[in-house]
Structure 1
Amino acid sequence: MERKKSSPTLASGILEKEIDTIGLVQFVPSATAKYVRISIRPCKGVRVTLPKRATLAQAEAFVQEKAPWIRKHLSSQQLQQSKKTLFSPEVEFKTRFHQLLLLPHPLPHCKSRIKDGVLYVWYPEQIDLQHTDVQDYIKNAVEYTLRLEAKRYLPQRVAHFARQFGFSFQQVTIKNAKTRWGSCSHTNNINLNLHLMRLPEHLCDYVILHELAHTVEKNHGPRFWALLDKISGDARGLDKQLKAYRLEVF
């Protein structure tokens, strides 16, 4: 009696496959996954996580079913990636309080220094400035500078608005969060993202006021927006402006 052939499983490990109209897709078996999940990661593409005993045919069918959704999100990510800063001497880049200055040098590694309002970054002259390692080093140096600025500037700005509008808070913590500009805990500790220093001053102030409003109103109900509108002048309009900025787009 001839045994019916079954579709291959992915139990043996990760598989990458080119899918028409989508591109390269990574199929990843998981011992804990109970259902198929698709994620689209910046610069890394499409990842499909699924139960180990799922077949490749089942996984591909699911991807084809979700193809319009995948293409939409890939297009959105590509647009955001195209807006990322490519650091170069020809393009001026400033933090709130520092000017970035890029300089080639003969050493085989990057180095940086902050002095008199300038962030100096030296990069190996024998390496293309657009090389990922060099660009990552520059970005990390900029983020370090942003953190220094944020620690100096943001807590006193929170204190200023708290005095002006009569709010009380516990402490201010500076973080390099990936999804939020800021947050307020149930005990009124305020967390602010160091990347607020990349925003225009009025939007940085809006985020601070947003979190201070949460010391009184813990949700985003009508009373919260009424309070925020009162202290900011145009809560909905400022919130719309803020949405034009992305934490992951530098």
Structure 2
Amino acid sequence: MDITLRPRRGVRHITISRAKVAAPVIHYPYGMPLSRLAAAPIVSDLMRQVSQKQSQPVVNPIRTGYTTFTREFRWEAAVGSRLEVTRGKQAVTLYLPSSMDFDSYPAQRFAFQELKHVLRYEANLLIPKAVSAEAEQLGLEYGAVRIKDARSLWGSCSTHRNLNFSLFVLLVPAQLRRYVICHELAHLTHMNHSVAFWRLVSQYLGQDAVALDAELNRCELDIPRLYY
């Protein structure tokens, strides 16, 4: 079952965190027996939900013809009984066993992992250039640009002026991608979300940053709905 277990010292209760791009995470007190953890109602309910979801066809699956900036995804029949992949410069070919449907959970989880592999490559290729162009135009200096497989944040700015971006930012429209970049660049001046911060982001963009933030929060990523 696709659930991550994460014991934590200093906590007394079981909590669950969920995201659209990663399996649910169960946080529980360090040293708690797994049998006791599994018997907890909050955990047994989650396991039942996940089991039911993973037994059904995945909504919005990656199909043949799905494209990113540099790659096209294709499904083909596998010779053997295992999911396999061939990564080319223009295409990612996924090989599907005859016993498996392409929209099944195992097949789409496999495809999603390959999609993340491609997005990481593309993000490292495109995002640093876009950040550099915006920063140069605005007269800003920053540290490193890093691409991460973030569960919830689109981006972040550290006290060392390093900028982090989720690889999934490539899946939003260009206008919102630019908003995320300018949002993090504005944190170089304001390490908060004050009125002055939002005014600065709007100044960088030449349009209402708050409205763009709301639009970003409503944005549905074109990914398989494996976890929600």
Answer yes or no: same fold by TM over 0.5: yes
Deviation of the 1:175 alpha carbon: 0.5
Structure-2 separation of matches of 1:32 and 1:184: 28
224, 229, 235: which one aligns with 2:197: 224
Structure whose residues are more often strand by fraction: 1
Deviation of the 1:31 alpha carbon: 10
The answer on 1:239 being equivalent to 2:213 is yes
SS at match of 2:93: strand
59, 72, 82: which one aligns with 1:99: 72
Structure-2 separation of matches of 1:99 and 1:115: 9
Q: Deviations over 1:36-62 (max 9, x none)?
A: 6564757999x8979x9xxxxxx98xx
- Name the CA shift for 1:188/1:33 in 2 (closer, same or farther; >3 Å): closer
Structure-1 separation of matches of 2:15 and 2:137: 47
Structure-1 separation of matches of 2:58 and 2:164: 27
The match for 1:85 is: 60
Structure-2 separation of matches of 1:83 and 1:164: 43
Q: Deviations over 1:153-202 (max 9, x none)?
A: 11111001000111110110110011201100011000111111111111
Deviation of the 1:246 alpha carbon: 5.9
SS at match of 1:230: helix
- Name the CA shift for 1:84/1:215 in 2 (closer, same or farther; >3 Å): farther
- Name the CA shift for 1:31/1:99 in 2 (closer, same or farther; >3 Å): closer
SS at match of 2:165: strand
Structure-1 separation of matches of 2:152 and 2:108: 22
Return the TM-score normalized by structure 2: 0.72
The match for 1:134 is: 107
Question: For residues 51-200 of structure 1, what are the structure 2 equivalents within 5 Å?
Answer: 84-89=59-64, 92-200=65-173
Please list every run of 5 or more consecutive structure 2 residues that lacks an aligned counterpart in the other structure.
1-7, 33-39
- Corresponding residue pairs, total: 198
Please list every run of 5 or more consecutive structure 1 residues that lacks an aligned counterpart in the other structure.
1-29, 53-58, 64-69
- Name the CA shift for 1:40/1:148 in 2 (closer, same or farther; >3 Å): closer
Return the letter of the residue paired with 1:174. I
Structure-1 separation of matches of 2:159 and 2:17: 33
In our comparison, the structure showing a higher alpha carbon Rg is 1
- Name the CA shift for 1:44/1:163 in 2 (closer, same or farther; >3 Å): closer
Aligned partners of 1:206 and 1:238 also within 8 Å:
yes
The alignment yields a C-alpha RMSD, in angstroms, of: 3.7
Aligned partners of 1:178 and 1:247 also within 8 Å:
no
Aligned partners of 2:63 and 2:73 also within 8 Å:
no
Deviation of the 1:131 alpha carbon: 2.9
Structure-1 separation of matches of 2:139 and 2:109: 42
- Name the CA shift for 1:159/1:107 in 2 (closer, same or farther; >3 Å): same
Q: Deviations over 1:190-236 (max 9, x none)?
A: 01111111111111111011001101111111111111001112201
Structure-2 separation of matches of 1:48 and 1:179: 17
